[in-house]
Structures are given as C-alpha cells and as structure tokens.
Amino acid sequence: MGIKENDQRYIAHTYARFDVVLTHGKGCRVYDENEKEYLDLTAGIGVNALGYADDAWVQAVASQAATLPHVSNLYYSQPDSDVAELLCERCGFTNMFFANSGAEANEGAIKVARKYSSDHYGFGRHEIITLVNSFHGRTITALSATGQDHFHQHFDPFTPGFVHAVANDIADLKSKVSKRTCAVMLEMIQGEGGVLPLEPAFVSAVAELCRERDILLIVDEVQTGIGRCGTLYAYEQYGIHPDIVTTAKGLGNGLPIGGVLLSEKVSDTFHPGDHGTTFGGNPIACAGACVVLKRMDEAFLNAVQKKGAYVEQRLSKMPHVVQVNGLGLMRGVVLDGVTARDVVAACIEKGVLLLTAKDKLRLLPPLTITLEELKEAMDVMEAVLTQIA
C-alpha cells in the first residue's frame, strides 16, 4: 500500500490534503516522491523559519538527541534555561514557561490571566476580551477564545468567559469591558482570519485601557513571532509591551515547542502545581530553538523586512490582485475573479507551494529565502495569475 493509501486508511481525515507526497528538503526547496522540486512559500504554516535541514539546527538537534533527549520538569537541564534567557533578556520579560504548541501556549496564558485576577480581585473577574475574526487554536478553550462563529459549532459546551469585540473599533471593545474583565487578548495580525493587521492607534488605545484598569494585555504571537514580521515579535512595531506574550511555530523550526513570556507583574502568578507539561521545555526542541533565536540578529531581521517589501511590491502589480496585507514575510493577498485554492493548485503544478487564509492567498516562506528565490516564486505566481481564468 502506498503512502497516500496508507494515509487515507489509517489517519483520521482532519485535513484536506493537496495531492503531493513530500519526502525531503533543503533550504527553501522541498521534493516529492518523484523528486519534483518545489519552492516552498509555506514553511510548514510558518514553522520552518530557517528552512529545511539548516546545518546548524540539524547539528544542535542531533547532538542533543544523542546526549539528553528528554528529562522531566522535575529536574534541571540546560537547553530550556538557555531559551528562556535568550527570550527574556532580549524582550524584557521576567520569566516564562514552556508548552508544546501555540494552542497550548494560549491556554497557559489564559490560565495566568485568570489566576492573576483571582489572586488580586477574587472570584468572578475572569472574562477575557478577544477580537472578532481572531484565531487562538483548536483546543476547546482556545476555540472559545477564537472570535469566529463557524468554529463555535459541534463541540458544545464551550468554555465560558470570552467576549468578542470588533477589531480596530476601540468604542466597541470598551463597551465589552466590565467588572468581570481580567484580560484582553490580541493578534497583531489576524493570521488565520485573513492576514489582517491591527491599526496602531487601536492597539495603543487598548494598551492604555489595560494599564488604567489593571486588565492584562495578552499578545498571541504564535504565527507573527520569531522574525516573521521583520522584528522578533510583531508587537515591537506597535510601541507596546504586553503583560503576556505567547510564542510557538517558528521558535522550533520544525520541532514542537511553545512558550508563554511573563512580565514582572505576572511573573509569580503560577506556583508549583498550578500548571505543568510533560514535554514542555524538551531538550531537543530547545536546542533547536537556541539556534533559531541566535540567528535572529539585526541584519537577519532587516533582510526579512527587505524581502517582505519586495514581495508586496511584486504581488501588488499582478493580475487579479486587489490588495496585499501583512508585515515582513507574512503576507495575505486579496484576489478578484479567481479563487485562492485554484491559484494554489495551479502554483503547485508549476513547483511553488502556497497557503490560503479564508478566501485569500497566504505567504509564509522560510525567513532564509533569498531575493533570487523570491523572484523565482513571484515569476511563477505572476504567470499563473496571468493565465488563470
């Protein structure tokens, strides 16, 4: 039985896969079972920040696997403390804890916010305001936090305590604040919601409101973080410093890892027994994360911004393109007269992998992609958009 037949037989159908079997990759290129080459503008949905099989990452991961692949959080080990130091010192947070995914990190952030409020204000101050069109993960509580009605089906009862406000409408958000509010949770760019950036004035107003009322500000940087938008975290471009930041995806460059960064205000909220994770802070994942973080210097991030500007400039001139959204190498493309999925399918045929976000094209290439590789991919996309009906 072949790979696709095995998949159909033994793996539950939770994804509608494209008809491609990928077997190996290097840099920004990946290959299928027939050795057809694809230029990847997906990076495993924003995960492979350094591309495929980065030499330093492979060496660090392999070395750690041969030394100490896993140790429970009942003991100390070096890799997780190294990642925590790199993130906290660079971003100005007091401490952090680890998770295994973005959804799990967001669940942890929600727990911190509710416990902080319970500790300081008592019972009943537990509501978290999120935004309409947001996406925070697929666990039951993360789905409850997600501000998209079509996710709130089939899995009742959903976790209570979430209120959804309209993005970029500060009056609507203020109207949702009550004596029950403990936190506001934002994505700087609504990724799964269509790659829609928040307006700086709205973000500033939310941050000010949170400061005035001791409401915690949580920023979900699962997709926007780790250099994706041209700074280590996208919130840096908005002039704010959140109380809590969640991170995942690109941090592991292919291995499962997530984290929750905590400001001084909330740094002592959790005590032993309040939270835990068997695999969080796994030494192999953290060894790889150290390589990723050390690569994200000023020159690297400036290059991401330059490459993002090139992508925006090229895309905006292509047929059927109405608008290009996003920051850095996180881009959404509004189309007219063609469907995003048809464009993705046509580009696959021509050796370029793309994503969708609702009815838009979405580009999340490895951050290490070169301008020459981007030109190659843009040429393919332009040819497809010129030819497609």
Taking each helix axis from N to C end, the angle separating 283-295 and 78-91, rounded to the nearest 10 degrees, works out to 30
- Coil, helix or strand at residue 239: coil
| Residue owning tokens 């740094």 | 267
Closest CA to 246 of 109, 66, 43, 48: 109
Interior angle at CA 153, CA 148 and CA 180, nearest 5: 60
Distances (CA, A) of 230 to 183, 246, 283, 300: 27, 17, 27, 9
Q: Determine whether the annotation assigns residue 223 to a binding site.
A: yes
- To the question of whether residue 228 is assigned a binding role by annotation, the answer is no
**Strands (DSSP E) found in 84-228:** 95-99, 127-131, 162-165, 181-186, 189-190, 196-197, 216-220
First and final CA of the chain: distance in angstroms? 37
Asked whether residue 139 is marked as a ligand-binding residue, the answer is no
Q: How far apart are CA 341 and CA 345, in angstroms?
A: 6
| CA 132, 343, 249, 188 torsion-angle sign | negative
Residue 368 assigned ligand-binding role = no
Phi and psi torsions of 224, nearest 5°: -85, -15
Please tell me whether 278 is known to bind a ligand.
yes
Are 48 and 254 in contact, with CB atoms under 8 Å apart? yes
17 is in an annotated binding site: no
Asked whether residue 222 is marked as a ligand-binding residue, the answer is: yes
Environment class of 95 (CB within 10 Å of its CB; exposed 0-12, middle 13-18, buried 19+)? middle
Residue 301 tokens, joined: 């991030």
Phi, psi (degrees; rounded to nearest 5) at 178: -145, -175
Q: Is 270 annotated as a binding residue?
A: no
The reply to whether 153 sits in an annotated binding site is: no
Q: Is residue 264 a known part of a binding site?
A: no
What one-letter code names the amino acid at 229? C
Which residues are 245's β-sheet partners? 219, 261
Alpha-carbon distance of 83 to 68, in angstroms, equals 16
Q: Which amino acid is present at 253?
A: N
Query: Using omega within 30 degrees of 0 as the cis cutoff, is the peptide bond preceding 197 cis?
Result: no
Residue numbers in the known binding site for pyridoxal 5'-phosphate are 102-103, 135, 220-223, 278
Residue numbers in the known binding site are 102-103, 135, 138, 220-223, 277-278
Residue numbers in the known binding site for N(2)-acetyl-L-ornithine are 138, 277
